[in-house]
Amino acid sequence: MFTPELPFTDWRLAGFNGTPAFLFETLDSTHSLMKTRAAAGEIVPGTLIVADTQTAGRGRHERTWASPAGKNLYFNILIPLNGIPLSSAPQITQVAALTFAEVFKSLQDDSNAQGRGNPDIGKVSVKWPNDILCGKSKFCGILAEVVYIKNASAISMGVGINVNSEPSDYAGLGRAVTTLKDICGQKINREKLLQALIASLERAIGQFHAFGIRPWVEAWRKMDQFIGTRGTIVVNNRCTDENRDGGSGVQKKSGRIVDMNDDGSLLFECDDGTVETVYSADLEI
């Protein structure tokens, strides 16, 4: 993973089960392109779309996702549901987050063993519902939507990972972020990393299809460093860059993160003593 990488246009990639991978030096958004092509029936489930830079990268609730060229990973994978009920589709993003976090943790452990890791940056962890952080700084985001292709349903999953970028690339965002390069103390081969992520995700989706979310919950609890600590849930799902600290429609509840339930939902104790099961919200720490 720490070897020099080939030029972006020479990367060798494939989607699930050998389906095509499409590489673009510049796109507005891999997620937007995937949804458009899926709706038009131009691609098959399993397809991978990768961009070297995005001009309009977005995360959940239309938050800006900075996408500098030649440094990070921006990709979208079309995940076939193959009989997975739509009610279970949100759990796929949690499976993906944990799967990716385990790959990143392995990189961090390898770098630490080499004496090149950053000892002050904290540990790679997951944060409900599907964020990946190191310490309290986010470096990987996942955005997923259900799409339909020829009467079949699939998940269009967009992923942005801060790999080799610099702190200056995020100076205007106003929130804590980090990069894999900061975590590992050295540059990462993005092609090799993406190959590992797609292979791991394909195996994980197969396991999810067979066993559901429960086998993943205990592994999530072990990697989630925020269970038992204070947090704030944003319950209206309209928390954008512009209004996340206030403004019309923003509703927040502070309290304690109790646990992740066996179905992937969040158990949250509010400051007024009520305990809520949260299925869809943002969690601020």
- Structure-token match 């929130």, residue found: 175
pLDDT at 236: 61
pLDDT at 99: 97
Tell me how far apart the alpha carbons of residues 285 and 270 are, in angstroms, rounded to a whole number. Answer: 14
Lowest mean pLDDT across 57-71, 90-104, 220-234, 256-270: 57-71
pLDDT at 84: 86
pLDDT at 41: 87
Per-residue pLDDT tens digits for 140-188:
999 999 998 877 889 999 999 999 998 777 766 667 789 999 999 999 9
- Ramachandran angles phi, psi of 42, nearest 5°: -90, -10
pTM above 0.85, yes or no: yes
Question: Among candidates 146, 125, 155, which has minimal Cα distance to 229?
Answer: 125
Q: Which two tokens stand for residue 120?
A: 């002050």
Q: Do 24 and 51 touch, CB atoms closer than 8 A?
A: yes
Per-residue pLDDT tens digits for 91-133:
999 999 999 999 999 999 999 999 999 988 999 999 999 999 9
For residue 249, the tally of other CB atoms under 10 A from its CB is 9
Q: Once rounded to an integer, what is the mean pLDDT over residues 232-258?
A: 70
CATH for 226-284, options being 3.60.21.10, 2.30.30.100, 3.90.220.20, 3.40.50.300: 2.30.30.100
Tell me how far apart the alpha carbons of residues 133 and 4 are, in angstroms, rounded to a whole number. Answer: 25
Average pLDDT, the chain: 89
Q: Once rounded to an integer, what is the mean pLDDT over residues 252-271?
A: 95
Tell me how far apart the alpha carbons of residues 28 and 56 are, in angstroms, rounded to a whole number. Answer: 5
pLDDT at 116: 95
Between residues 61 and 80, the one the model is more confident about: 80
For 168, residues 6+ apart whose C-beta sits below 8 A from its C-beta are none
Return the amino acid letter for 282. Answer: D
Q: Inform me whether the pLDDT recorded for 240 exceeds 80.
A: no
pLDDT at 173: 67
pLDDT at 71: 93
Question: Does a cis peptide bond (omega within 30 degrees of 0) precede residue 129?
Answer: yes
The superfamily in CATH containing domain 8-222 is Bira Bifunctional Protein; Domain 2 (3.30.930.10)
Question: Among candidates 183, 179, 205, 166, which has minimal Cα distance to 46?
Answer: 205
What are the start and end residues of each CATH 3.30.930.10 domain in the chain? 8-222
